[in-house]
Amino acid sequence: MLLLSLGMKVKLVFSGEEAIKLIENESFDIILTDINLTGINGYQIAIYIHETLKLNIPIVAITAEDHINNEFAIHFKNIIHKPFEKKQLQIVLGEIFI
């Protein structure tokens, strides 16, 4: 997995609902989410983290979409468009953790 190869510890979930449960019970340095998750999507996760839980966790969105909803994009530290290269992710993560 790409994140593991960058030396990061990873928790992987397959739905927005799973992500919310995990975020409510554990602490994270960063969240990477696909915008188009089934059920609770990436936009909704970001809003929940920042507005409901009041957590200041940087969130990076990953998407194959060309159009990003600007109203919700403010909740993302960065947006990476698929397909992307490992170097792209390294740059985004480097900007967040510097």
pLDDT at position 1:
64
pLDDT at position 4:
82
CA atoms within 13 A on the CB side of 39: 9
- Find, among 31, 38, 23, the residue nearest to 57 by Cα: 31
Per the structure, the count of domains in the chain is 1
Mean pLDDT, rounded, of the chain: 90
**Rounded Cα distance, 53 and 74, in Å:** 16
Peptide bond into 83 cis (omega under 30): yes
Please report, for the domain that includes residue 7, its CATH number.
3.40.50.2300
Residue range of the domain that includes 28: 2-97
Report the SS3 class of residue 80: strand
Mean pLDDT in residue range 1-5 = 76
pLDDT tens by residue, 16-41: 999 999 999 999 999 999 998 888 99
Residue 71 has pLDDT above 90, yes or no: no
